[in-house]
Chains A and B, each alone.
Chain A
């Protein structure tokens, strides 16, 4: 099984400042088809998860451009260029290179 490890566990950020979350996989998420199957989700308090980023760096429909994803192989990063109050919640990375899809443990983002 592919193990997904996120750091840090929690993050407290001043509004307007950047934030960065790391996700590492135990195996490369690069497939022979050339795609890398790494995704980012945000679960706001009391809500269901929502897709932010698909295949490492593609923003899903309606996602603000302050969110960006990068990385390759086994190391990935989600960056928020300027954190806003509405960005609080738990961020999860997920892999689907090996089925079933597996999630990281989550990173809780709070506002200072």
Chain B
């Protein structure tokens, strides 16, 4: 059974840093495309970042240069390092597996339960 369990969300001051984790089971993180998707309070879904099985990495413009996605293959875990946090980064952060029925694109077939990041002074 595929499971994704996020952790690491917290209340943090603007300018601070936080690292989110997403522990996977039932499949191998390094063999899949893995993404972070966020949802601000009462708002819709926004893609944040992806790491491909081959290691290519992409970010939304809103987080580029501040966030870093990575994975630890030995722990089968996905991470999101978030630096220079802003009030507008406040959201529930979901990790999601990106299933690639085609080699060049993907969609999200499994999601974690989410972890809340609140950026406020």
* A interface residues, Cβ below 8 angstroms from B: 31, 33, 35, 37, 39, 41, 47-51, 54-55, 60, 92, 94, 96-97, 99-106
Contacts and interface: CB of A to CB of B under 8 A. Distances in A.
Interface string B98-121: 000110011111111110000000
A48 B105 CA distance: 22
Residue from B94, B108, B109 having most chain A Cβ neighbours under 10 A: B108
B108 A101 contact: yes
Nearest to B105: A96
16 contacts: A31-B102, A37-B105, A39-B107, A47-B113, A48-B112, A49-B108, A51-B109, A55-B101, A60-B109, A92-B45, A99-B105, A100-B50, A100-B60, A101-B108, A102-B47, A103-B46
Interface residues of B, number: 20
B44 A105 contact: yes
